[in-house]
């Protein structure tokens, strides 16, 4: 039981780090000193417990409010985290209830709230006895999806996609997504699918079930046969249609999933990113894959290639709201206030990207966002500026459904690509991406 307590202590630190100190979960996981010393099973448990608590935060807090006679005082915030973790184990993970209660009571004392051990014990036992039907009812009625979606995000999704689609997206956010891999050699898909117990996706990538644990332990990782990349994230580089020997610029390239695709297609890639640490990871990733690209640490707004190029991929920084299935912390850490600076940055990056193109060259703009402000609205602004005579002359080069096999429903009437986590549900969904292809006149 002691090892279990260590995992839960780490989970308590991590949840506090995300919700109180506003650190992204991936960063908190990397920075946590004791996590690495846990065995891989406990590490996986801690990670899953925190991710599920964040995914189900709205339901957990509604249940807590129902079980407490009066709201917890602000100075008891860490106790709230203990309750969230305990309730999450009882109501959403298949933790044996006695283990969840016992470790939560011990965690209460360890966190310095020994005087509240009785309260935690009573709340968790009552939840175990009484609350499963309530949770099942919330799942069945769709209320769970609404409760776990913060108001700012619900309003933004409803305004952009309508209430019914917002509901379907919010439902998709409740489940941990499958693990998608992009293969260096697409011709090897059937072999790797058999070895990894995966299915081959219509685009040629592989899909494994969720909960695989440490991906570095999977067959083919060390050999550099594949890299982790969501199905939707694999589409922008594909839509650039890079040819062997062609020089292409990958702007905002790190950690390099799209750079790897372009290099694997035989292109000479110039990968640009302003973050030196992330660029280092890009180089390490390419080394593992046996692929090469020239790397440039620079601000893509002012950097220019030595000569105009025929292909530019811009995977712009954005709200990342399309990746909430994988990063449930984003719903809690981001909000509308962050969007205005991001959309201004996207406009400047788009204008710079268009300026790098030779006549007839193509620019693919992508964001992993569900918000139109970071997608079609940016392209409309760029094209309006071009009509006024500002910036490099570009026009939309529509994407055809045949270019994305099996994913025709993601292609819009204008010829852009808009994927939603609620699409392809029979296959396990895909991240939310917006992609537009433009051609320099």
Ligand X SMILES: C[S@@+](CC[C@H](N)C(=O)[O-])C[C@H]1O[C@@H](n2cnc3c(N)ncnc32)[C@H](O)[C@@H]1O
Which H helix or E strand runs over 182? Answer: strand 179-183
- Which pair of tokens denotes residue 284? 């390490």
C-beta of 300: minimal distance to ligand X in Å?
Answer: 4
φ, ψ for residue 181 (rounded to 5)? -125, 140
> Is residue 258 at the binding interface for ligand X, with CB under 6 A as the rule?
yes
- Catalytic option among 88, 252, 318, 368: 368
**Distance of closest approach, residue 392 Cβ to ligand X, in angstroms:** 18
Q: Quick check: 274 binds ligand X (CB under 6 A)?
A: yes
Residue 323 CB, shortest distance to ligand X, in Å, is 9
Candidate segments 179-187, 266-274, 393-401, 431-439, binder of ligand X by CB under 6 A: 266-274
Residue nearest to ligand X (CB): 252
Residue count of the chain, please give it. 441
Considering the complex, what minimum distance in angstroms separates the CB of residue 166 from ligand X?
23
Q: Which of 278, 281, 288, 439 binds ligand X (CB under 6 A)?
A: 278
Residue keyed to tokens 């935690």: 120
Shorter beta-carbon distance to ligand X: residue 42 or 250: 250
**Look-up of token digits 């985290």:** 81
Query: Of the ranges 25-33, 94-102, 247-255, 379-387, which one interacts with ligand X (CB under 6 A)?
Result: 247-255
E strand or H helix that includes residue 381:
helix 376-387
Shortest distance, position 198 Cβ to ligand X, whole Å? 21
Instruction: Give 326-360 as a DSSP string.
Output: T-TTHHHH--GGGHHHHHHHHHHHHHHHHHTEEEE
256 binds ligand X (CB under 6 A): yes
Closest to ligand X by CB, 145 vs 252, is 252
Check residue 252 for interaction with ligand X (CB under 6 A).
Answer: yes
* Under rule CB under 6 A, residue 300 binds ligand X: yes
The 3-state secondary structure of 55-75 reads: HCHHHHHHHHHHHCCCCCCHH
Q: Which residues contact 164 (CB under 8 A, 6 or more apart)?
A: none
User: Judged by CB under 6 A, which of 6, 61, 275, 347 binds ligand X?
Assistant: 275
228 binding ligand X? (CB under 6 A): no
Residue 200 DSSP one-character state: E
Tell me if 281 contacts ligand X by CB under 6 A. no
Per-residue tokens: 244: 């062997």
In the complex, what is the shortest distance from the CB of residue 272 to ligand X, in angstroms, rounded to a whole number?
A: 6
| 361 sits near ligand X (criterion: CB under 6 A) | no
Could you check whether the bond before residue 255 is cis, i.e. omega within 30 degrees of 0?
yes
Any alpha helices (H) in 185-247, and if so which ranges?
A: 189-196, 235-240
Helix (H, G, I), strand (E, B) or coil at 398: coil
What are the distances in angstroms from CA 98 to CA 75, 90, 101, 385? 28, 9, 5, 63
Residues touching ligand X, count (CB under 6 A): 17
DSSP annotation of 411 reads: B
Which residue stretch of 28-36, 49-57, 74-82, 246-254 sits at the interface with ligand X (rule: CB under 6 A)? 246-254
DSSP reduced 3-state for 310: strand
Question: Segment near ligand X (CB under 6 A), from 14-22, 29-37, 183-191, 273-281?
Answer: 273-281
Among 253, 331, 386, 438, binds ligand X (CB under 6 A): 253
Binding mask 315-334 for ligand X (x = CB under 6 A): x-x-----------------
Pick 245 or 277: Cβ nearer ligand X:
277
**How many C-beta neighbours within 10 Å does residue 64 have?**
18
Long-range pairs of 115-120 with CB within 8 A, sequence gap ≥ 24: 116/76, 116/79, 120/79, 120/82, 120/83, 120/86
Note if 252 is an active site residue. no
Which one of the spans 23-31, 249-257, 334-342, 353-361 is the region binding ligand X (CB under 6 A)? 249-257
Q: Which residues ranging from 102 to 121 are in contact with ligand X (CB under 6 A)?
A: none
Residues that bind ligand X (CB under 6 A): 252-258, 272-275, 278, 299-301, 315, 317
Catalytic residues: 368
């Amino acid at each position: 039981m002691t090892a279990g307590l260590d995992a839960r202590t780490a989970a308590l630190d991590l949840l506090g780090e995300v919700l109180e100190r506003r650190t992204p979960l991936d960063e908190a996981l990397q920075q946590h000193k004791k996590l690495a010393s846990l065995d891989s099973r406990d590490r996986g448990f801690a990670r899953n417990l925190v991710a599920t608590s964040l995914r189900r935060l709205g339901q957990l807090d509604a249940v807590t409010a129902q079980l407490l006679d009066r709201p917890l005082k602000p100075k008891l915030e860490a106790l709230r985290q203990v309750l969230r973790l305990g309730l999450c184990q009882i109501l959403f993970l298949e933790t044996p209830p006695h283990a969840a209660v016992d470790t939560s009571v011990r965690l209460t004392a360890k966190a310095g709230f020994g005087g509240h051990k009785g309260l935690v014990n009573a709340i968790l036992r009552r939840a175990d006895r009484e609350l499963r039907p309530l949770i099942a009812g919330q799942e069945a009625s769709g209320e769970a999806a609404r409760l776990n979606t913060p108001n700012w995000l619900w309003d933004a999704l409803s305004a952009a996609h309508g209430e019914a689609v917002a509901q379907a997206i919010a439902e998709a956010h409740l489940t941990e997504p499958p693990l998608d891999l992009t293969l260096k050699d697409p011709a090897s898909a059937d072999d790797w699918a058999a070895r990894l117990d995966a299915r081959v996706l219509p685009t040629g990538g592989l899909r494994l079930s969720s909960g695989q644990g440490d991906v570095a332990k999977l067959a083919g990782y060390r050999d550099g046969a594949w890299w982790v990349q969501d199905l939707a994230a694999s589409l922008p580089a594909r839509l650039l249609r890079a040819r062997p020997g062609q020089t292409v610029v990958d702007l905002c390239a790190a950690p390099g999933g799209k750079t790897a695709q372009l290099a694997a297609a035989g292109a000479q890639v110039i990968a640009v990113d302003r973050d030196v640490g992330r660029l280092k990871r890009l180089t390490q990733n390419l080394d593992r894959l046996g692929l090469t690209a020239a790397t440039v640490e620079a601000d893509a707004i002012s950097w220019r290639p030595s000569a105009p190029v025929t292909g530019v991929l811009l995977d712009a920084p954005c709200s990342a709201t399309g990746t909430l299935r994988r990063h449930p912390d984003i719903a809690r850490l981001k909000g509308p206030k962050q969007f205005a600076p991001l959309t201004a940055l996207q406009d400047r990056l788009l204008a710079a990207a268009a300026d790098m193109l030779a006549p007839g060259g193509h620019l693919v703009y992508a964001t992993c966002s569900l918000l139109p402000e970071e997608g079609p609205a940016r392209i409309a602004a760029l094209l309006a500026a071009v009509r006024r005579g500002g910036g490099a002359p570009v026009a939309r080069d529509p994407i055809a459904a045949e270019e994305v096999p099996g994913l025709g429903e993601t292609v819009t009437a204008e010829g852009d690509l808009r994927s939603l986590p609620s699409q392809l549900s029979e296959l396990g969904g895909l991240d939310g991406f917006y992609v537009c292809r433009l051609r320099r006149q």
